[in-house]
Amino acid sequence: MEKRDIELVRALQNEEIFLTERPFHEAASLLGWTVKEVLERVRALKEEGVIRRFGAALTPRNAGFKSNSMIAWDVVDTRAEEAGSLMSEHPRVSHCYIRPRFEGFPFNIYTMVHGSSPVDLARIIDELSVLAVSSSYRALHSLKEFKKSSPVYYPKALEPENA
């Protein structure tokens, strides 16, 4: 990644700027760029997929989703891509990955699933089971959260432009 983009990524990770009236003006002033330059480069990074999305992340539990779980599925390898693609389109699935199986753990597709209640969660799991064509899964309910944070890319203080 080019030096200017790294500086932009660092500036955009100051999350507090997105709770001000003019977030991209704030980013521009951190960087010593014009707001036009910031907007153009942010749009380009979105286009390139470096920025997957721009938006808000919810804490599901506080947004009315009281029953959340990571569900790991055992899906025949030859069907895994298709099953993952179908499950990822379910509106209550927020993450969906194919991962390696391991000894004692035959599950290869991981989904994060969000329900409003235990009954709702069970209904969603049933629907996913149909999409996956598999009734072999494990609900990896979280029992305790030790850490939850956003990754920090290129961790380094912003250097003043004219230092």
Partner 1 sequence: MHASIDGLDALILNRIQGDFPVSEDPYGDIGSALGVSGEEVLLRVKSLVERGVVRKVGPFFDARKMKYVSTLCALEVPEEKLEEVAAMISAYPQVTHNYLRAGSPNLWFTLIAESREAVARIISEIEKKGGVKPVRDLPAKKMFKVKVDLKVGE
| 156 makes contact with partner 1 (CB under 8 A) | no
According to CB under 8 A, which residues from 60 to 119 bind partner 1?
60, 62-65, 70, 80-81, 84-85, 87-89, 91-100, 102, 104-105, 110, 114
Q: 45 near 1, Cβ under 8 Å? A: no
C-alpha closest to that of 138 among 123, 120, 125:
125
Q: Least Å distance between CB 35 and partner 1?
A: 6
Count of residues in contact with partner 1, rule CB under 8 A: 76
C-alpha closest to that of 33 among 55, 68, 7, 65:
7
User: Contact letters (x/-) for partner 1, 21-50, by CB under 8 A?
Assistant: xxxxx---------x---x--xx--x-xxx
Residue 150 or 162 having the CB closest to partner 1 = 150
Q: Which of 2, 3, 59, 156 binds partner 1 (CB under 8 A)?
A: 59
According to CB under 8 A, which residues from 115 to 154 bind partner 1?
138-153
User: 113-116, long-range: CB within 8 Å, 24+ apart, which pairs?
Assistant: 113/68, 113/69, 113/70, 113/71, 114/60, 114/65, 114/67, 114/68, 115/65, 115/66, 115/67, 115/68, 116/64, 116/65, 116/66, 116/67
According to CB under 8 A, which residues from 3 to 22 bind partner 1?
9, 12-13, 15, 17-22
Within 10 angstroms of residue 26's Cβ, the number of other Cβ atoms is 19
Q: Least Å distance between CB 133 and partner 1?
A: 16
Q: Which of 155, 156, 157, 160 binds partner 1 (CB under 8 A)?
A: 155
Residue 20 is given by DSSP the state S
